[in-house]
A and B are shown apart, each in its own frame.
Chain A
Amino acid sequence: MIGLLRPGAHDRRWGPLVSAWYDRETTPAETDAVTRHIARCGRCRARIATYGTIERELRAALQRTPVPPARPIFAAAEARRGRMRWPAARAVAGLCATLLLALAIASPPGRALIGTAANVAQQIAGSRTANYAGEHALFRAPAGSAIAYQAHRYSVMSATADGARIEPLGTILVDGGGIWALAGGRVLYDAGSGGQHEWMVAAPDGSAAAPLPNAGNRDVVDVTPDGTRILLRASGRDGAYATAPSATEVLDATGAVLWTGSDAPAANGIDAYALSADGNYIVSGDTGAITLYPIGDAPSLPPLTISGYAVRRPQMARNGALAFAAQALSGPSAGTTTVYVYTREHDLPGIPHGDAFPPGSDPLFALAPDGSLLAVWGMRGASTLTIWGLAGSAAGKVYQDPHVAGVTVHALRWSPDGATLLVIGVDAAGRQIAYLLRPSADLSMARFTSLATDANVAAANWRPDDSLLLLSDAGVPTGFVAVPANGRTLALGLPEDAGARPVFGAGGYLALLKMDRPARFLALRGHDPAPVPGTIAALSWTGDGSGRAAVVVGGQVYLYSPRSGLAAQPLMEGVDVHWSPSGDRLLVVHADGGAEIVAVDGTPIARAPTGIDGRTLAWAPSEATLAGVQRGADGDHLVLWSLDGRITVRASAQKIGRIAWSPDGRQIAYSADAGGGARLEVVPVRGGTPIDLGPLAALDDDFVWRGDGRALLVIDHQQVGEPGMLVALASDGTGGNPLGLPSVVHLYPGPR
């Protein structure tokens, strides 16, 4: 049929051939004919473009579809049918056993990545070949985005006050930590890690996250039930909360400072764990006293002297009732702790609730905001949780909770309306649990509701409307995150694997490449799998969409193409390899640090001048030059190397580490150390004074240009490899902004 078609003229009969050509399913003769035709036929070129669009949409739509794991598929289908549909019970038993076995095999964390390198390499070889095997971590990142490797990701969930309905709200990127509800429906959570605090405020779905102003590296220890006031405390050198007055501060929900301990007349320091329920006082315990620090216009109140006791963690209800733990300082009960409730009707210290807890067994307690109920948990040989009635119809009544057996409780919190108690703890099996107790009016019983989710409840707290916020580690525990130029992060859902690297194919398709295990490159169609003869040490894709790659295995550079798979013979020796932006040439780095430019067939084009560290070389986007570091006796120089052999120095320092071209090729960012520690600097390619953007943890610390070229992304951490907050530094040196991504461990350049 080809002979009947004129190469340059559009004809409907070209359609099936072009379609097959698009799939690389044409014979050599057909391939030549179609190639010549589409070079002249705009309509067929447009047709191919639409084929690509359609295929991307189909694939993306199917990728979006959650694939249930094997067991839910079978279980869900069974549940819908209501009965066994197939008669062969024996076969079913065998099948179930087999599926259980399959699931058991699938369970180890490493299972999901078995074969990843092989599968994803095949899938991303070209955008159109990327299939929808989402389980193998194949995702698309927007062009121009950077990729951050993030430590943890948690789901924010809401629960109704009775715990009957638990629904996902969204996802926030945190390394555990607490969660609080603020006025206005916002969520306050700790995005810090490694003992550092980074308090963020976000919408309940995790979007629009921004740091809480003035929070600093302090812990939130209490938020009023209406979510309008936040009590913060700084830690001392020993890790415990500092009691210096300046360590305590109260902010409102916008982060404005309402009260600062620096101005407080507190010679003995402040040891507060609670704000009064009405938000008017900071309630501080001390040896022999409770001090109430008024906030705003609240009237001053005299301290309450409680002689002979060390007062711990006092709480104050709206009716003025105070609950606190008091440790006897002397006498036969010395060292024991008792929970007291004090109102104006009592003599100090007030009325003890429950027997004393032995030394070393401090109780937890929670006073309801309206002062009507007191919950006390502690260990007196066994775990006991008691609710005492203090006012109203429950006054004088006691409820003992049977559900707490075997549970170590670490948080008790009453709902804002005082009707329901949230209990968070760890059960005997080590699982974090959360449950609700709603006592009856006469405390004769309490309704128990387990806040059961599919995963651990890492944190929980009440919202002002008496519903609940839960922080759960359900779903993907970790992810690679795309950071587009607009700063809105985009979780890619890739699994946690610190040993994996993101690699890109055409169209921004992203995969993880395991660097520490042997892999197989699968030829695309009609070819047998080509085993990689060892562990992949480096990999570079061309950016031209052809799907070609260069791989370093065992000190040898191999080429890979979708048509022929991995070459049987190496191209040349090398320890690292980088395609030129056009995909026409390769930069090959040798073990001795030297480097050379070669054609695709290995023909030498240029060798890097002596002194240039080949491991630092990076192609300019225009491909006309490379930037690299020239080591010399007088220090390091950032140089431009033109392939005609010219060397131009653009910056110098005692040591220079990494280099990154800006997306437009007009600036180069580099890490440098002039003797005072690693810094990130930017210099114009045409020459000029370098701009100092700020410190880095080390010369080999990660930094990546943002897609718009106006900022560089860095990790605010003390040491390379430690998690830290992602920060965007303006490339003109005018400052930086945290991006709401905590515990970022590594940064990688994304697709361009």
Chain B
Amino acid sequence: MPAPQLNANEMETLSVESADVRITESAWQRVKKSWSVRMGGAALLLLLLIAVSAPWLGTVDPTLFDAASRDLVPGGRGEITTLDGEIIKHKFWFGSDSFGRDIYSRVMYGTRVSLAVAVLAALLSLAFGIVCGLSAGYLRWLDGILMRFMDGLMAIPAILIAIALVAMWRGSLTTVVIAIAIPEIPRVTRLVRSLVLSIREEPYVEAAVALGTPTWKIMFWHILPNTIAPLVVQGTYICAAAILVEAILSFLGVGLPPSIPTWGNIMAEGRSQFNEYPHNIFIPGVFLAITVLAVNILGDGLRDTLDPKMAKRV
């Protein structure tokens, strides 16, 4: 078969027509109209605002404590000693913990950790998953060995990998993010690989091959852009999983060090006093649940609008 001669313009048209997974103008219109995307997105924007402006929301330094203000119920008044030794009056909106730290400040600052871990873990696992998935799908000699490796990684429950890795490395933001991202890589790899396997049969890829385009350019220029829509959806779900796993790690006492205010750490500290002061667990718990719910609703909305094929599956 003679190689089809196409100019760049014609190829552009082809790729838009044949790729039903590409984010097109109309898909963006659908996304904007989606009720789920609006609700989830609005809630997340609010949480992002809280994370960014935590110091100006009537909070005090979340690590400050004062023995005189221990175990206050929500709304209780007390005092807190600043790092300069100055004693200030403070209203504890969400109460205080057994060290006399302000739960409200800790919860507000905790938003930063949850959102940061979510985004970083999603980006990291997507980056590795994309490279592995493109390689497995396009470089056939690599496929067998890489996918067997991913099968093995998937056979170990995600939370166990994360717990074990953090235990080895000791908790810090970097290690927690890496430990959460690693078990997600096989899922991204599988998704990208299956997309690549179908996209590589498209006429515009054949055309590019016939024109002598280098392999790396085909992979990143012709194939990768057509995987974006499903990857956006997958990335959103990884964010939700990452927030949950980070909270679980902190809650079990193996995540970020207790000095860093995270929702999981606040709950871990509240465990011993749950009978008398359940708010130490319930308030961060509600924030955690709402955040994950918002991410999941956003993910469902994106899936239904960007990736109708996936929406039909579950």
| Chains A and B belong together in one complex | no
Residues of A within 8 A of B (CB): none
* Chain B residues in the interface with A (C-beta under 8 A): none
